[in-house]
Structure 1
Amino acid sequence: MSAAAAIQHVHILGAGRMGQGIALAFAYAGLHVTLIDFKDRDAVARIAFAAAARGDIARQLQTQVSVGRITDPQAAEAMARIGIVDRERARAGLAAGEIVFEAVPEVMEAKQTAFAWLCEHVGAEVLIASTTSTFLVTELQQIVAHPQRVLNAHWLNPAHLMPLVEVSRSDVTSEAAVQRVVALLRRVGKVPVVCAPSAGYIVPRIQALAMNEAARMVEEGVASAEDIDIAIRTGFGLRFSVLGLLEFIDWGGCDILNYASHYLARAIDPRFLPAKIVSDNMREGRDGLRNGRGFYDYADVDVPAYREKRLAEFGHALDRMGLLPAFNAAI
């Protein structure tokens, strides 16, 4: 049994929306969770907050019941795996903990307070995974004892449903810590990817550009907000749910992106100029599937079979959304 497989109990520091979503993800998969309300409250407020948090989690589970994914007894079973405690009641359990996901507000002072408290109550080997989307792991490691066990685990909302978790490490983070967190996430059905300590990680960095470009098109009167969103849902988003962005460049050919980028840079703004690696690929003949190399190496790939597989996946995605063209639809 791996070290990650031995983890049966997860602690989450911060009981807001993200903390609740992560708690639900682990409880749904069969693990026990202690959700720690770190905010200082009086006794009445603590009881009211815990009741409200349990109510919110229960409603998420009932949604899964209503769509037929689980039964009422299964929802109750998952709910029973989640304990909500204040920081005083959390101390005893933390002493025997193995991993803590930090999910306090995105303010450095709050992080400093939380990590200082946490380091007083957990052992030196306990893994600490911050869910922050604002601070880099290199910044957080400066305020945590034993920084080699610290990394970022950025969950996407809603955390209990979205598969992706972006795991950001630094050179200081131990490989054992990374592998243990990755294995744990996979065990509960998540899809972890590992990235360097870079602002925006992967998804937030790409989506910020796309969102701002969509907003600019509304500003410029290119199309209505409704039509832009229809185009994203039925065009842009559908293709990239099957082919990744870089895979898509290889699929169509790097030359298409290169020429389109230069055209848009002239017609709209220099921000559309191609990335240096795109220009390098053009110069070095790495055009994608066409010549067997691009962002990926296709030397040992059965390209016709690969194309057929991806097109079949695309057809299935269209069918699930009710968008697959019907034969003789115009008759």
Structure 2
Amino acid sequence: MITKIETVAVIGAGYMGGGIAQSLAAAGMKVVLADVSPEATRAALTRLLREAGEFEAQGLFAAGSAAAIEANLSIADSIEEAVRTVDFVEEVVPEVLAIKHEVFKRICAAARPDAIIGTNTSTLPVHTLAPAVTNPERFLTVHFSNPAPFIPGVELVCGTATDRALIPVVKDMLKRAGRNSAEVADTPGFVLNRLQYVLLKEANSIVEEGIASPKDVDVIVRSTFGFRLPFFGPFAIADMAGLDVYANCFKTFEDAYGDRMATPELLKGLVAEGKFGAKTGEGFTGKHAPEKLAKLVAYRNNAYARMAQLLEELGPSPLVEDD
């Protein structure tokens, strides 16, 4: 079995696939890119090399990244040519099951039998895609986020047949590319989009009910709880606020909205045990010594102050400027 990924094929050269190819090539891996036609692939390569130079000039890529991408990124005239000798194949074609199945069949017919095959699907479960993959033990979801050159998180999803030994190999590849990875279960939407779409759904309900405008909802999200999210996830944020506080607030939501906003059982259990988060030293994120909690508070305060400074330095987004 492959123990280290050195060569990669990215199938699909749009903005998502192209960004993944840039990221892996910048990290020193040899990457071959293929799209729907040789002409489309060549056009994508021209764009990606131009963008890499622009990003480096703007300080968005580290010095030397454009040269590394140019040295490590090549193209192939077909899917078959691209995948023939590589260690890892990342499929990044449209989110249509029939298209993905067709592409996987072509990949499997030409790739090495031990090549690891990943899909960048954002919502389709592994079990709906694996039937099109020969030797499905080498198949898993490796889900980057858009824009791929700049978003560090990647979801990893195994199917029932996936060999667990693949996980550290793929994680090592991602780590070398400066990416954070998290393994989640094989369900529709995984974690990222399940959370993201729930937020969008509730935001739409708020607008439809006349509670706030889309503009004002966006202001609240980005300047309140969204302001915290680059540093902490929802469980850490709740621990710092106090789980007893959250439990009391959920009572208000449950009274107003019914079961869909009822107090989660996990939260109820922690509160019943007297585990209120940072104030008691134990909560969603485990048990923490007082000195660690003091460091956490200091980090939080510094992080939020620095974020405010960065936003002031960057200035408002064009959407805000239009107001």
Fold equivalence (TM over 0.5): yes
Say whether the 8 Å CA contact 2:154–2:182 is kept in structure 1.
yes
* Stretch deviating more after TM superposition (104-113 or 151-160): 104-113
| Aligned with 1:178 (options 159, 167, 173) | 167
Question: How big is the shift at 1:70?
Answer: 4.8
The alpha-carbon deviation at position 208 of structure 1 amounts to 0.8
Name stretches of at least 5 consecutive residues in structure 1 with no aligned partner: 324-331
Distance 1:70 1:283, change over 3 A: closer
**Counterparts of 1:36 and 1:216 in 2: how far apart (Å)?**
41
Alpha-carbon distance, 1:154 to partner: 0.8
Give 2:238's match in structure 1, choosing from 249, 252, 262.
249
Give the drift of 1:59: 4.2
After the TM superposition, which residues 1-331 of structure 1 pair with which residues of structure 2 at under 5 Å, given as runs? 3-4=3-4, 7-37=5-35, 39=36, 41=37, 46-47=38-39, 49-70=40-61, 74-87=65-78, 90-91=80-81, 94-300=83-289, 302=291, 303-322=293-312
2:288 & 2:63 partners in 1: Cα distance? 51
C-alpha displacement at 1:132, in angstroms?
0.7
What is the TM-score with the length of structure 2 in the denominator?
A: 0.88
Cα displacement (A) at 1:299: 4.1
Question: CA offsets, 1:243-302, max 9 Å, x none?
Answer: 211011111111222221221232245422122212222223222122222112224452
Distance of 1:176 and 1:259 partners within structure 2: 44
Q: CA deviation at 1:73?
A: 7.0
TM superposition score normalised by structure 1: 0.86
Q: Which runs of 5+ in 2 are unaligned?
A: 314-323
Q: In structure 1, what is the Cα distance between the partners aligned to 2:94 and 2:216?
A: 35
SS in 2 for 1:216: helix
Task: Out of 15-24 and 267-276, give the one that drifted further.
Answer: 267-276
Contact 1:13–1:35 under 8 Å retained in 2: yes
Q: Which residue does the alignment assign to 1:329?
A: none
Q: Single out whichever of 140-149 and 73-82 deviates more from structure 2.
A: 73-82
Partners of 2:63 and 2:269 lie apart in 1 by: 56
Question: What amino acid is the match of 1:276?
Answer: E
Secondary structure class of the residue paired with 2:312: coil
Flag as ranges the 4+ runs of structure 1 deviating above 6 A: none
Change (3 A) 1:231 1:17: same
Aligned AA (1:3): T
Instruction: Count residues with an aligned counterpart.
Output: 311
The whole-number CA distance in structure 2 between the counterparts of 1:150 and 1:87 is 21
Paired with 1:233 and 1:147, the residues of 2 have a C-alpha distance of 41
Q: Which moved more, 1:297-306 or 1:123-132?
A: 297-306
Out of 269-278 and 211-220, give the one that drifted further: 269-278
Alignment root-mean-square deviation, CA? 2.3
Stretch deviating more after TM superposition (160-169 or 275-284): 275-284
Partners in 1 of 2:198 and 2:285 — Cα distance? 24
Q: Matches of 1:71 and 1:305 in 2, distance apart?
A: 30
* Contact in 2 for aligned 1:62/1:72 (Cα 8 Å): no
AA in 2 matched with 1:280 = G
Residues 140/280 of structure 1: CA separation in 2 closer, same or farther (3 Å cut): same
- Report the AA paired with residue 283 of structure 1: A
Asked if the contact 1:151/1:178 (under 8 Å) is kept, the reply is no
SS in 2 for 1:104: coil
Q: Do the aligned partners of 2:156 and 2:183 also contact (CA within 8 Å) in 1?
A: yes
In the alignment, the residues of structure 2 paired with residue 61 and residue 100 of structure 1 have an alpha-carbon distance, to the nearest angstrom, of 22
Tell me if structure 1 keeps the 8 A contact 2:124–2:189: no
Amino acid aligned to 1:22: I
Distance 1:73 1:130 in 2: 29
